[in-house]
Amino acid sequence: MRLAKPTCLVITLALSLLSGCAAVPAWEKGNLAKPSMTFNGDPLDERFTQHIYTSKENASGGYGVGGGGCGCN
């Protein structure tokens, strides 16, 4: 791990553009294509889990738009 990584993380969390971080070329992206490394996940699992938390906890959002509402009581 390069030492620059924690610094990069902080900058990311402040939401600025990251062209300063070492750009990763196409042929090094093998690991990034693994399913566990994507943010998509299992669609039905995520829907169900987010639905439970939204109704039992009252906080929601951050993942996407759409999906509609429900009378979750």
Partner 1 sequence: MASPAEVRIDAASEGAAQHAFGAIQREVERIETKYSRYRPDSVLSDINRNAGGDPVALDEETAALLDYAAACWSQSGGLFDITSGVLRSVWDFKRNRPPRPEEVDAVLARIGWQRVRRGARSSASPASIALEAGMEIDFGGIGKEYAADRAMAAAVDAGIRHGFVNLGGDIRVIGPQADGRPWRIGIVHPRDPERTIAHLELGEGGLATSGDYERFFEFEGRRYCHLLNPRTGWPVDGPQSVSVVAPLCTVAGSCATIAMLHGDGADAYLREQGFAYLLIDRDGKILQESLPR
Partner 2 sequence: MHEKREMNDRPRNGAGDAPPPDKISLLSAALALPGLAATLLSTVAATLPALLSSAAQAEEPPDHSAIDLKYLYYHDYQPGEGRMRISAPSFHLLAPFADRWSVETAIVVDAISGASPLFHDTLSGASGLGVNDLRKAGDVKLTRYFDRGAVGMQFAYSTEHDYVSRALSVDARLSTPDNNTTFTAGAGHAEDDIDSVNLVARGQHKRTTDLLAGVTQVLTPNDIIQSNLTYSIGHGYYSDPYKAIDVRPDHRDQFAWLTRWNHYVDAVDGTLRLSARYYHDTFGIRALALLTEWVQPVASWTITPSLRYYTQGASDFYRDPPFPQGFRIGEPYSADQRLSAFGAITAGVKLAKSFAGGWRADFKAEYYEQRNDWHHLFGSDSKPLKPFKAQFYQVGLGKDF
Decide: helix, strand or coil at residue 7: helix
Pull the structure tokens for residue 20: 């300063």
Output Rg (C-alpha) for the chain, integer angstroms. Answer: 17
Among 3, 10, 20, 26, binds partner 2 (CB under 8 A): 26
Write phi, then psi, for 57 (nearest 5 degrees): -125, -25
Q: Taking CB within 5 to 8 Å according to partner kind, which of partner 1, partner 2, none is near residue 39?
A: partner 2
State yes or no: residue 35 binds partner 1 (CB under 8 A): no
State yes or no: residue 30 binds partner 1 (CB under 8 A): yes
State yes or no: residue 47 binds partner 2 (CB under 8 A): yes
State yes or no: residue 15 binds partner 1 (CB under 8 A): no
- Give the whole-angstrom CA distance, residue 5 versus residue 71: 44
- Name the residues that contact partner 1, by CB under 8 A: 25-30
